[in-house]
Amino acid sequence: MPIPPKQKITLSFSGCGFLAIYHVGVASCFREFEEQFEIERIAGASAGAIGGAVHLSGCCLGKATTDVVQLAAAARASPVGPLSPRFNIVRSLRAGLRKTLPDDAHLLCSGRLSVSLTRCSDGKNLMVSHFGSKEELIEVLLCSSFIPLYSGLVPPYYKDGRYWDGGISNNLPVFDPSTVTVSPFSGESDICPSDKSAQSFMEMSFGNQNFRINSTNAYRLTRAFFPPHPDHLKEICEEGYRDALRYIKNTLLHCRLPDSLVFSEPQTPLLSPTEEREVEEIGVPIVSVRSEERAVRRRINLERINALLEKYSSDNPNLPITVIEALRGARRSTPHPVVQILSYAALPWILPLEFAYSTCIRLIELTPMPRNMELQYYIEVFSSIAQRVVAKILSRHGGSAWVQCNCKVETVSGNRCVLHGKAVINQSHSLTFAFAIVEESPPICLSSSSASSFGSGNSTLPFSFQLPAVEPAKSAHAVAETAVLISDIRWEDGAADMLAYEESCDIVERFEREISDYFQAQIPRQSIGTTPF
């Protein structure tokens, strides 16, 4: 039997906060039908984008479920839920994504995942589908799921600006009209809960997505922000599976629509002239004149999947074991009812305090203070730069050395902070670096004294730059070299860290050459021959 080619499908996952567990259910269902369908691309906003990234990078869905469940549990820990100051959703998400996504996630997702972002400055929508590194992918996903006020006050930074939740401008991004839209809210999406209990006409549209106005949808909307009880998470997950299964059966495979016509190609005529004659008698449905070729292909496909469908005849969700396990694990972790009642009783007293505390924390985060710069992270970056520089220099000179890097914050004042580090190359040589991090990004010149000025004559440098005097180390023993590296790092709330790092690497690499030249000029002249290696 010829194996029919896999049907290629593009999906769109709508933004939906904690209801992302619905997308896990949908993804589980599509993984069951891997032999028939290939998910070519996924567009997504907010939590939907995260779901898409998880699915496309082939992560274990059980692990993703565990993450959602843990996040939900963390958000439910406080009586005020996710509004609690102890719950930092951006940080938790970042940690979760770093852990769950594989290292080559950006390669797997580039070109296949489109993430919807909303630019803060003008509210315009931006679709991002290329990611340079895993960190960049994570930053884009964090931007896309940053709900103003709810997630925090200062939106994260990506490339050249700050971005908000993609759901604000486009909650249901599509590639083309044939994209299969997935939404946990009942409305006009291909895969969505049918909410058969209500037939009302009332609908509303937000962020390119249509929602029906009914009480279940209202409940779902609250649950997108305030995670539901783990039992209901399981139900939502199962609902996603069931809805996806129904869509696959009814629309993609046309199983239960034996004589319906899916009319999707406007350019192909409904009836060819020869066929038209056949339809003249009343009672011949249009569909009976489908082209022979297509019918054969469909039959082969149907035979192949009949066995699979048998398995799902009861419409029971057949979620992967790992997902079920993860959901079951969550149920055990719910607190004792007595504890819950006590925490609710204490609410009137705790709530004002919590809110005051939360406001203070957020305000402190907002104030531009160097403390906010996650100095530890910068120190790590700095010492790694220092080590690379030293290693490179040493490799040019041959031999190995013990390299020790000590970094410390030297001055913190106003809008800038200078990191100071010392790399001891060997007993006679040590290299001292200074690294300035400044809030704004004007080219800075530390020390413009008379000393040897590297690069001032070098036209490739982006800005005027002067090194301070090379001073002998305080060491009593031998000659030491001191150099100062100055780099211009924009610090912007974490988001630009990687960019800053890359930028500084670039600058550092340019200086490496210069420094090495400098050392080559300096060291032989001095006591390198006698240095004990």
Partner 1 sequence: MDNADNTKEPDRVSPSTCTVVRAATGWLPSFSPASWMPSLRWVPTSDEALAAAERTILAYLKTPYEGKFITVVPDDSVTRPDPSKASHRIWTVSMNTEQPISETPIVLVHGFGGGVGMWAQNLDALASRRPLYAFDVLGFGQSSRPAFSTIAETAESQFIDSMEAWRKEMKLSKFILLGHSLGAFLAASYSLKYPEHVRHLIMVDPWGLPERPLDKDQQKLPIPFWIRTAAAVLQPFNPLAGLRAAGPWGPRLVGRFRPDLQRKFSTMIAEENAIFDYIYHCNAQAPSGESAFKAMTGGFGWAKSPMSGRMTTMASHVPVSFIYGSRSWIDHNVAYTVKDSRNDAFTEIILVSGAGHHVYADKPAEFNDLVGKICRRVDDEDAKKSKI
Q: Which residues bind partner 1 (CB under 8 A)?
A: 177-178, 181, 186-190, 192-206, 208, 210, 212, 214-216, 218-220, 222, 232, 235-236, 251, 256-257, 259-264, 266, 270-271, 276, 279-280, 282-283, 285-287
408: number of Cβ within 10 Å:
10
Nearer to partner 1, 337 or 457 (CB): 337
Phi, psi (deg, nearest 5) at residue 418: -115, 125
Read off the amino acid at residue 80.
V
Q: Which of 14, 78, 116, 165 is catalytic?
A: 165
SS3 412: strand
User: What is the total residue count of the chain?
Assistant: 533
82 vs 156, which CB is nearer to partner 1? Answer: 82
**Helix (H/G/I), strand (E/B), else coil: 434:** strand
Q: What SS3 string covers 169-188?
A: CCCCCCCCCCCEEECCCCEC
**How many angstroms separate the CA atoms of 7 and 254, rounded?**
14
Of residues 363, 366, 362, 355, the one with CA closest to residue 81: 355
Q: What are the two backbone dihedrals, phi and then psi, of residue 267, each rounded to the nearest 5 degrees?
A: -75, -30
**CA 187 from centre of chain:** 26
> In this complex, which beta carbon is closest to partner 1, that of residue 127 or of residue 361?
127
| DSSP three-state, residue 415 | coil
Helix axes 337-345, 347-366, angle to 10 degrees: 80
* Catalytic pick among 12, 14, 28, 46: 46
SS (H, E, C) 459-503: CCCCCCCCCCCCCCCCCCCCCCCCCCCCCCEECCCCCCHHHHHHH
Query: Of 206 and 533, which has the nearer Cβ to partner 1?
Result: 206
How far is residue 135 from each of residues 49, 141, 298, 338, 508, measured CA to CA in Å? 15, 10, 43, 42, 21
Helix segments in 6-159, DSSP class H: 20-32, 47-56, 61-76, 89-100, 105-109, 134-144
- In sequence order, which ranges of 315-421 are alpha helices (DSSP H)? 321-332, 337-345, 347-366, 375-397
Measured from the CB atom, is 271 or 353 closer to partner 1? 271
Sorted by sequence, the CB contacts under 8 Å of residue 150 that are 6+ apart come out as 82, 83, 89, 225
By C-beta, is 23 or 220 nearer to partner 1? Answer: 220
* Cβ within 8 Å of residue 392, ≥6 positions away: 512, 516
Residue (of 351, 332, 451, 415) closest to 80 by Cα position: 351
- Name residues whose C-beta falls within 8 Å of residue 298's C-beta, 6 or more positions apart in sequence: 254
Tell me whether residue 165 is one of the annotated catalytic residues: yes
Give the pairing type, strands 161-165 and 180-182: unpaired
> Where is 235: in which H helix or E strand?
helix 230-247
Positions marked catalytic: 46, 165
